[in-house]
Amino acid sequence: MAKRLSKISKITKTKKAIKKIKASSAKPLFCFDIITALPESFDYLKTSLIGRAVKRGLIRIKIWSLRDFTQDARKTIDDRPFGGGPGMVLKVEPLYRALTQAKKIAPKRKKLVILTSLAGQQLNQKLINKLSLEKQLIIICGHYEGVDERIKKFIDMEISLGPYVLSGGEIAAMAIIDSVSRHLPGFLHNPDSLEEKRGGGKLTSWPVLTKPRIFKIKGKELKVPKVLLSGDHKKIQFWRGKKSKEIKL
């Protein structure tokens, strides 16, 4: 009963926080700016929890197309690398112009500039927790063979999704936005949905199941464990603890 009341209290506090944010209506809780060669890649950010958070004013997401910051008729954003070699390199001029414009919005707000790059720090939960303490992230999406090295004079850090190669940084940018947003007050309906909170400060995972109780396939019956249907919360918690796996950060 006490645990249930505690959860209700947390949800009530979350709702109050959302009302305060709406009432202020002036500034979003967190801002994301994405500088990209492929602005059409980001439809995902209009859906699900992120889309709802944008509509409620919790977060702001602004996408800056590099082609809007070119000065030639062909809207050229890339060129061949000096010294030869395969691939194309994103040009420094449109990158710098887009970054300058992004910084002009809410000039008093502290900003962290990120470049998605294979050579960057690998994204993990510790880094996500740190990024969630910022107020605004400006994310430059790497692409093609790379970006002109000179733009790195104007960034704060480089981030990689992992030790593998992607065609561009758009997926990495969306991963950063999704993972950081989960930590913002009011983003999740129930704060206990954060995996770290369920695991007592550790990032853990345990088996989850839903209807039907019995899944029949090829003559076999895959059943939901009886303990999950018992209604005994102590036994359920014990079962989850036994089955849980800690995810190493």
User: Residue 23 — pLDDT band, cuts 50, 70, 90?
Assistant: very low
pLDDT of amino acid 70: 98
**Residue with tokens 């303990």, as numbered in its chain:** 227
pLDDT of amino acid 195: 61
Q: What percent of the chain has pLDDT over 70?
A: 84
Q: Between the CA of residue 2 and those of 7, 107, 229, 235, what are the distances in Å?
A: 9, 46, 21, 17
Q: What average pLDDT does the segment 56-60 reach?
A: 96
- AA identity, residue 201: G
User: Residue 9 — pLDDT band, cuts 50, 70, 90?
Assistant: low
Reply yes or no on whether the pLDDT at 53 is more than 60: yes
pTM here is: 0.82
Phi/psi region, residue 137 (left: phi>0; alpha: psi -120 to 50; beta: rest), is beta
Q: How far apart are CA 6 and CA 54, in angstroms?
A: 28
Residue 110 and residue 156 in contact, taking contact as beta carbons nearer than 8 Å: no
